[in-house]
Amino acid sequence: MRNIFLFIRRYFNFVFFVVMQIIALYMLFHYNRFHEAAFMGVANEWTGRVSKKFNNVEYYFHLKKTNEELVKENEILRNLLRQNFEGADTTLKVLVDSLSRDTFGHLRKYRYRDAKVVNNSTSLQYNYITIYRGEKQGVHKDMGVISPSGVLGTVVYSSSNYSIVMSLLNVQSKLSGKLKKSSETGQVSWDGKSPFYLTMNSLPKSVPLAKGDSIVTSQYSSRFPEGILIGTVAEIIDDKASNFYTLRLKPATNFFAVEHATVIENLQAEEQKKLEETTKMNQ
């Protein structure tokens, strides 16, 4: 307490001056409308700037939660897409079965489930991704998996709560793709060299091509709906010994920063598979 009195005594004139200035400014801004408006304008400007900085910091620390909410929302929206349903033959009377339908009576073909990526490799010849979704959550072998930006891979193993996804960056990975603008199909694979590029073969030289063209999943894939982005054309290689181009594709998915994935279930895949196997056996 003694030190406080000594401080006030020593700086009495300065403290008195500051107090009087505050009182004078208060009276000026409180009883004069022009000065009050000017002060409030400056105060609001500075308050807004401070609040903006604070909100930016707060937003940064909430990015994880925001990202998870967006993934969940994407799962819901994907399940509502029109391409997940197929129209029935209107010339026949169709009996209602256990498959869900949309409001137009179309059978649901695809169902989506979000998943958290818990492990990932990109530097090997056989790269795999582990997701926190398994058989208890409806995930099984041969289901397609996508990232928020494009194709990720295919489920090859599943346990109760986890699944292993064979990444597109795997030399055993094969996927049917097509040129988005003209629908010519080819096979997309990985040559095991650069993780920044995929390869697409069997595209006829009669097809007009340009760098930047989009390659999407084709109608021949039972694991993915048609039209999901695989990558974009980065280089066109003209093989003089054949009538086909070889394309180097830049993947749509950034495999070095995969945090969330979506598993796609084809509800009609088993029916298609059985029919095709029966046809092969009868040949």
Amino acid 52: pLDDT: 57
For residue 137, what is the domain's CATH number?
Answer: 2.40.10.350
In the predicted model, residues of the chain with pLDDT beneath 70 are 1, 5, 28-63, 66, 69, 73, 80-106
- Intra-chain end-to-end CA distance of the chain, in Å: 104
User: What is the torsion angle, in degrees rounded to the nearest 10, for the CA atoms of residue 23, residue 24, residue 27 and residue 33?
Assistant: -140
For residue 189, being part of any structural domain is answered with: yes
pLDDT in tens, 152-163: 999 999 998 999
| 123 and 48 assigned to the same domain | no
Residues 140 and 253 in one domain: yes
pLDDT at res. 29: 62
Give the pTM.
0.67
| Residue 52 sits in the same domain as residue 115 | no
Question: Is the domain of 53 the same as that of 185?
Answer: no
42-91: pLDDT as tens digits: 555 565 566 556 556 655 666 677 677 677 767 777 776 665 655 544 44
Spatial distance between the Cα atoms of 61 and 53, rounded to a whole number of angstroms:
13
Same domain, 49 and 117: no
The pLDDT mean for the chain works out to 80
The C-alpha atoms of residue 249 and residue 188 are separated, in whole angstroms, by 9
Q: Please tell me whether residues 126 and 197 are part of one structural domain.
A: yes
Please say which residue of 59, 78, 95 terminates a domain. 59
Q: Quick one: pLDDT at residue 94?
A: 36
32 belongs to a structural domain = yes
Domain limits for position 146: 110-283
Domain boundary among 38, 59, 80: 59
Q: At what angle do helices 12-31 and 2-10 cross, to 10 degrees?
A: 70
